[in-house]
Amino acid sequence: MVALSAAVVRPLVAQLHRQLVGSHRVTPVRRCNLTACSSKMHPMWQGPLAVPGGDRQSPIDIVVRKSVLDTELKPLKTTYDPKTCQQIWNNGYSFLVEYDDTTDKNTLKGGPLQDTFRLCQFHFHWGETNDWGSEHTVDRRLFPAELHLVHWNADRYSLFEEAVMEDNGLAVIGVFLKVGKRHEGLQKLVDALPTIRHKDSVVEFTCFDPGCLLPANTDDYWTYHGSLTTPPLTESVTWIVMKQHIEVSHDQLAVFRSLLFTSAEEEVQKSMVNNFRVQQPLRGRTVRSSFTPFLQGAPSAGGSK
């Protein structure tokens, strides 16, 4: 890993900030119901809303028995090139693993999608303990963490920045993390995290296959129309939430929690934990499933320690 020069980092930081956090401060739609996070609200969720919430906000609770089987839903097709991985960045809310998205080297097709979507980054949300942390829930069950692989529609748009503001602009794969066995594929990333402990740290990070973070079975998923869960909260996202979780060890999640929301200059350092948005109302939307919920059931509950 090599620290990037300031000349490279500054425009990169500005671009990545737009991609995950945006430039405006916002306020939550409703108060967090977790005692742990209501008293420790991240600055990103304070102040006036830049974009008022609409009717298709995320994340949501997925109610398994209310999800509707759609036999037209196809298997997902992902093609990822590990060599296009470029860097990791602590943006003060999560850490982003960024990919070169100037060509069609990392694509997502199929599933509920009509177009070809390109991966630009992935990141996680997690809690301060293993009892919560995921943004989506399944029948109100919380998972310790959730992975988001963010793709934009390269058939319709020419840049992520354009796609993020438009209908059908983004497709995000969500994967629940459960505590169990160490995830060998994730470890290379975990080993690099201490180098981006503070907000605004960026380091080069190459040769990482995002496909290693997908569960073995990607044929079974829920899908619905929603939004980004960070500002600008645009309702541009086709969510694809995997039924099957992946396992990571408690020690690997502990390294996530050793990151900081704060920059090196700040007097009071704050641990990067509870970086999830509160849940949003479904407002009449349908969650479709690619599998028969009644026969196959929901994933087992998270929160093991």
State the residues that interact with Zn ion by CB under 5 A: 148
Task: Rank residues 123 and 199 by Cβ distance to Zn ion and give the closer one.
Answer: 123
User: In the complex, what is the shortest distance from the CB of residue 125 to Zn ion, in angstroms, rounded to a whole number?
Assistant: 6
Closest by CA to 126, choosing from 224, 36, 219, 33, is 36
Residue with smaller CB distance to Zn ion, 57 or 291: 57
Q: Could you tell me if 245 and 302 are in contact, meaning their C-beta atoms sit under 8 angstroms apart?
A: yes
Q: What does the alpha-carbon distance between residue 121 and residue 134 come to, in Å, rounded to a whole number? A: 18
Q: How far is the CB of 32 from Zn ion (least distance, A)?
A: 16
Return the number of the residue (226 or 299) whose C-beta is nearest Zn ion.
Answer: 226
- Give the contacts of 24 (CB within 8 A, at least 6 positions apart): 50, 51, 231, 232
- Residue among 256, 261, 234 nearest 26 (CA): 234
Task: Work out how close the CB of 89 gets to Zn ion at its nearest, in angstroms, rounded to a whole number.
Answer: 14
Q: What 3-state DSSP class applies to 256?
A: helix
Q: Which is nearer to Zn ion, 42 or 148 (CB)?
A: 148
- The CA angle 94-99-104, to the nearest 5 degrees, is 140
Query: Among residues 118 and 148, whose Cβ is nearest to Zn ion?
Result: 148
Task: Specify the residue, 143 or 291, whose C-beta has the smaller distance to Zn ion.
Answer: 143
Find, among 98, 78, 100, 80, the residue nearest to 16 by Cα. Answer: 98
Residue 222 CA to residue 174 CA, distance in Å, equals: 10
CB of 118 to Zn ion, least distance (A): 17
Pick the closer one to Zn ion by CB: 53 or 70. 53
Residue facing Zn ion at closest CB distance: 148
Least CB distance to Zn ion at residue 294 (A): 30
Distance of closest approach, residue 95 Cβ to Zn ion, in angstroms: 11
- Cα gap 172→47, rounded to integer Å: 27
Q: What is the 3-state secondary structure (H, E, C) of 59-102?
A: CCEECHHHCEECCCCCCEEEECCHHHEEEEEECCCCEEEEECCC
Interhelix angle 184-192/250-257, rounded to 10 degrees, is: 30
* Smallest separation, CB 134 to Zn ion (Å): 10
